[in-house]
A and B are shown apart, each in its own frame.
Chain A
Amino acid sequence: MTRFILVLACLGLAACTQPGGQATAPAQPSADPTSAAYFQSSVGDRVLFPVNEATLSPAARGTLEAQARWLIDNPSYRALIEGHADEQGTREYNLALGARRAAAVQEFLVARGVADGRVETVTFGKERPLAICSDESCYARNRRAVTVVATGGAGV
């Protein structure tokens, strides 16, 4: 398996994330609409989920519509969708739940015309929270699926 190569630049205000949710320093906004940084900041790289669910809200669907259009317009990119859960739940269940969330995003993108082979999924369960407090304000941000785009080799 070729390692997923990430070109990552972060935008904006607070820290943003690498695969697995590790925080990185903020970087300059990207004006290049074909860049991964633009995808992350302007298209929106993540959708959030209710507790123990993998259903896509209207807001999530809106974000994913934009993601699908961007991926179709930028065919040199591949997408790796990371499914995450909050810490309220057992380790195994959260791994399964993260897989379910990532798959929900993958199915949506494919249904909107992104080639199946360009979209891969991975679950991190509750192992890589983005926000580390232990109340709903953090949990809500951690119940997420993050689409990480990168130009890369033949296989993810």
Chain B
Amino acid sequence: MFETYINDYNEAVFEIDKELALEVIESALEEGVTPEQVVFNIIIPSIEVMMAEIVINADTNLAQHFMTAQIAAEVTEQMLAKFESPPDIIGRVIIGTSYGDLHSLGKRIVMGCLKSMMVDVVDLGVNIKAEAFVDAAVAQDAQIIAISSMMVHTATGEEGSLKVRSLLKERHLEDKIKLVVGGAPYRFDHELYNKVGADSWAADGVTAAKIIHQLIMDGKS
């Protein structure tokens, strides 16, 4: 039953046709699909299809990633307001761009996907100091710190992920809080995440959401 909706919805997202994607959701609701089913049986599986597509098809592009997150977040927000009871949140992420970095697109894509996947996201914004990431993660009881960097010096600088790692170590938080990084420099050097002290990385925002989700689930098991 849901397969047709997922296919139609994803086709619209791939074609960057927001109106058509929303029409698919509207039709589903009219045909008796509940808001809970829209999120858990259409939106989340659709994001997972995009995640799989990125792995097998190098031709997916930033525009499609953006649309995946944008529409998913918008639909999820609308549906959550109609849920009979609040859904269980699977975990919490502190997200922001690294110190000195003002680029926010990647972060926005990650956030859109995560929110639809029932991960609570605390957005610290751009140009965030290492201490602020760690302090927020402790205060909010988050399992993940996610740092986006578009430039080499903000990805590798002493005030970025390297300092977050050193603070996590200093405060004995490394077992509780995992550090995930993403952004252009990591796309060019796939080992760079290791060199800046991160636990994991992703080449794009949609995949980042998948990795963060997986790390949260691993932490629970």
Answer whether A and B are interacting partners.
no
